[in-house]
Amino acid sequence: MIKKTFRVEGMHCSNCPMEVEGIEDDLPGIKQVSASYQKGQMVVEFDESRVTDAQIIAAVEKRGYQAFPA
């Protein structure tokens, strides 16, 4: 398991992080997602052998936000 921080653009209220954190349900291999709209970022703990950065970014984009490795 590794932890990576991603910059997330498009979060504008306290409900947005809950939406972003929902990628945990979309991708097997993610253990935990913690997002903050005040910081404009999320920290993802995941199994790098089961899920890639690109898959995480795509899952965030599918929910209407832009994600970039921090």
pLDDT digits (tens, 9 = 90+) for 13-61: 889 999 999 999 989 999 999 999 999 999 999 999 999 999 999 999 9
How many domains does the chain divide into?
1
For the question of whether the overall pTM of this predicted structure is more than 0.85, the answer is: yes
Alpha helices in the chain (DSSP H): 16-21, 23-26, 53-62
pLDDT digits (tens, 9 = 90+) for 20-29: 999 999 899 9
Neighbours of 25 (CB within 10 A): 10
Alpha helices in 1-68 (DSSP H): 16-21, 23-26, 53-62
The residue range of the domain holding 35 is: 2-69
What are 21's two structure tokens? 């954190």
Q: What CATH code is carried by the domain that includes residue 38?
A: 3.30.70.100
